[in-house]
Amino acid sequence: MSLSETDRRTLAAVAAILIPADSALGMPSAGDPAILADIERSIGRDGAAVAEILTGLGGANEATILDRMAEPDTAARLFGRLVLGAYYRDDRVLAALGHEARAPFPKGYVLDQGDWSLLDPVKQRPIFWRKDA
């Protein structure tokens, strides 16, 4: 689904208010052009929710946008999920969070063994599952 020019402008304004830039932390705004393009590309099955939110928020101020997105309805939930999904896979965002900007496969990750000695007291416990006869 591609947006009309008006909806595209509303999306940029809304996204920038939902997640503003923070230069000290190195975080772009969700209104950044690359992130906006990713959001738009990802609308897919959420077209109705996006249309509902953008139509309702055209020209709205910050307080109205934040109030609308705090409502516990499906449109706000799906629209928010779309923005967050695109934002938190942006290379700059992941780098600023100390995460590698890549798919999990094929490299995977390392998981520490952790402290197996913690299990020693549990091993000392008598059997306690209930007998059936």
Partner 1 sequence: MTTQHDKVDVLIVGSGASGAAAAWSLAETRMRILCLEQGDWMKSDQFPSNGRDWEARRHGDFDILPNRRARAADYPVNDDNSLMKVANFNAVGGGTVMYTAHWPRLHPSDFKVKSLDNVADDWPIDYWTLEKFYEENDRMMGVSGLAGDPGVPPRHPPMPPIPLGKTGSLYGRAMNDLGWHWWPSDTTVATTEYEGRAACINLGHCTPGCAQGAKASTDITYWPLAIRAGVELRPNSRVREIATGPDGMATGAIYYDADGREHFQPAEVVILACNGVGTPRLLLNSVSDKFPNGLANSSGLVGKNLMMHPWPVISGYVQQPLDGGRGPITSIWSKQFYETDPARDFVRGYMLQFNRGTGPASQAILSVGAGQLPWGRDHHKTYRELLDHRVAIGVACDDLPEEHNQVTLDPVLKDSNGIPAPKIDYTISENTRRMMEHGIARAEEILNAAGATRIHCSRTVLNYPGHLLGTARMGTDPARSVVNEWGRSHDVKNLFIVDGSVFVTGGGVNPTSTIQATALYIADQMKQRLANLFD
Q: Alpha helix locations (H) across the chain?
A: 5-18, 33-41, 47-57, 62-70, 74-87, 91-96, 120-123
Per-residue tokens: 60? 């709205």
Cβ-in-10-Å burial (0-12, 13-18, 19+) of 87 comes to: buried
Least Å distance, CB 36 to partner 1, is 15
Q: Does 123 bind partner 1 (CB under 8 A)?
A: yes
- The single residue among 2, 25, 33, 59 that binds partner 1, judged by CB under 8 A, is 25
CB of 34 to partner 1, least distance (A): 13
What is the footprint of partner 1 within residues 81-120 (CB under 8 A)? 81, 84-89, 93-94, 97, 99, 101-116, 118-119
Binding residues vs partner 1 (CB under 8 A)? 17-20, 22, 25, 27, 42, 44-45, 62, 66, 69-70, 77, 80-81, 84-89, 93-94, 97, 99, 101-116, 118-119, 121-123, 125-132
